Structure formats: structure tokens, C-alpha cells
């Protein structure tokens, strides 16, 4: 076979491989997936940090085609500031989480900007406190590998973002000078489904 025809044949095979690659579903391990957050306290006096302890998520990814989706559900009453009084206030104050009215927060997005088979961003929509707005996550680290001790293939990521909580109707403390930014840091490990 002539070199030119060989190159063309290899290119066609590569295209076919990409075209027939199937998306793979991963389900997040709740014991190793925690959205954590940081927020201003008293207008710059300090920063309060916490996390949500009950999260479910599904990732569907085709690394060859550089596509994928993310669907995350968080139980808002699982907030944990390490301070039970603050946990209760955040759950019950109408201009904070108000978990009786808004028990679930969701994030739905698509994986984007793949580099060497790994996504570097998630472009999506975040629903919190009954409000849905665009929110992009930056993926700082992403890796997939076999985990022999669990007999599983897992993908893990570390993602960050920031949003203005007032835009979600969570304005508690604004009149007293509280800054409205919330910084998200999300660790996730997801198990490949067979």
C-alpha cells in the first residue's frame, strides 16, 4: 500500500473508532464526594466554611469524542459548618438555605474543553433556593484509573467556582455588610458502571 493511501486508511480507522466509541456512565461515591463552600462572615471579619454531606451525582462521558454530562443532586439539609447552631440557622432562615421549602439543590452541565482526554470545565446551570442560573465549574485536576483495592475503575476530579448568593435570593446579612460571594470547592470520585 502506498504511504498516502496508508495514511488515509489510518485516518479513517481513527474516525471510525471515535464515531463508535460509547459513552460510559459513572456514579459518584457519596463517601468520597463532597461539595464544600466558603462564605463571608460580618463583612470581611472572617470566612465560614462548610460542606454538604449528602450528594448524588451521575457523569456520562465519552473521552474519545470529548463529550459528557454531569447531573448532581444535593440535599440542602445536610449542610455541616462544624457548628450545630449555624447549621440550624442556615436550614431555617428564609434568606439562607430554607431547607423546608428548598430541600434539593441541583447542578446540570456538560463537560467541556478536553485536554488529553480530560475535561477542564463544566458548563451548566445551578438551581439553589428555587432559582436557576448559569454556573461554570473549573476542573483543576481530573484523573481516571483502576483502583485494585476496590476492584473498581474510578474517575476523580477537583473543581472550583464562585457565585453571588444574593442572585439566588439568599440575602441574609447583606444589610449588615456581609459580602455575598460563595466559593465552591468540590471533590468527587465516581465509579464506572458495567
Q: Is 40 within a domain?
A: yes
Domain count, the chain: 1
In a domain, 56, yes or no: yes
Kindly state whether residue 43 falls inside one of the protein's structural domains: yes
- Give dist(CA 130, CA 49) in Å, integer: 23
* Residue 66 in grid coordinates: 470529548
Question: What does the pLDDT read at residue 20?
Answer: 55
Asked, for residue 148, whether it belongs to a domain, the answer is: yes
Tell whether 137 is covered by a domain. Answer: yes
pLDDT of res. 18: 46
123-126: long-range pairs with CB below 8 Å, 24+? 124/70, 126/163
Is residue 10, in this structure, part of any structural domain at all?
Answer: no
Find the range with the poorest average confidence among 11-15, 95-99, 167-171.
Answer: 11-15
- Report, as an integer, the average pLDDT of 46-54: 97
**Interval 73-95: pLDDT, tens:** 999 999 999 999 999 999 999 99
Range of the domain at 108: 22-192
In a domain, 150, yes or no: yes
- Cβ atoms of residues 74 and 55 within 8 Å: yes
Asked whether residue 8 is assigned to any structural domain, the reply reads no
Is pLDDT above 50 for 9? Answer: no
- Output the pLDDT for position 12: 47
**CATH number of the domain enclosing 68:** 2.40.128.110
pLDDT in tens, 157-191: 999 999 999 999 999 999 999 999 999 999 999 99
β-bridge pairing 79-80 and 46-52 = antiparallel
**pTM to 2 decimal places:** 0.87
Amino acid at each position: 500500500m502506498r504511504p498516502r493511501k496508508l495514511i488515509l486508511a489510518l485516518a479513517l480507522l481513527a474516525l471510525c473508532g471515535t464515531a463508535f466509541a460509547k459513552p460510559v456512565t459513572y456514579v459518584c461515591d457519596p463517601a468520597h464526594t463532597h461539595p464544600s463552600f466558603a462564605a463571608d462572615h460580618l463583612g470581611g471579619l472572617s470566612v465560614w466554611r462548610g460542606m454538604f454531606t449528602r450528594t448524588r451525582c451521575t457523569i456520562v462521558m465519552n473521552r474519545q469524542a470529548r463529550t459528557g454530562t454531569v447531573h448532581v443532586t444535593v440535599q440542602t439539609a445536610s449542610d455541616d459548618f462544624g457548628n450545630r447552631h449555624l447549621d440550624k440557622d442556615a436550614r431555617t432562615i428564609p434568606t439562607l438555605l430554607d431547607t423546608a421549602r428548598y430541600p434539593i439543590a441541583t447542578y446540570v452541565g456538560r463537560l467541556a474543553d478536553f485536554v488529553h482526554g480530560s475535561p477542564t470545565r463544566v458548563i451548566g446551570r445551578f438551581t439553589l433556593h428555587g432559582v436557576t442560573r448559569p454556573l461554570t465549574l473549573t476542573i483543576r485536576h481530573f484523573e481516571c484509573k483502576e483502583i485494585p483495592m476496590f476492584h473498581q475503575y474510578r474517575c476523580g476530579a477537583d473543581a472550583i467556582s464562585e457565585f453571588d448568593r444574593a442572585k439566588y435570593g439568599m440575602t441574609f446579612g447583606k444589610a449588615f455588610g456581609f459580602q455575598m460571594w460563595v466559593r465552591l470547592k468540590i471533590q468527587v470520585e465516581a465509579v464506572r458502571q458495567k
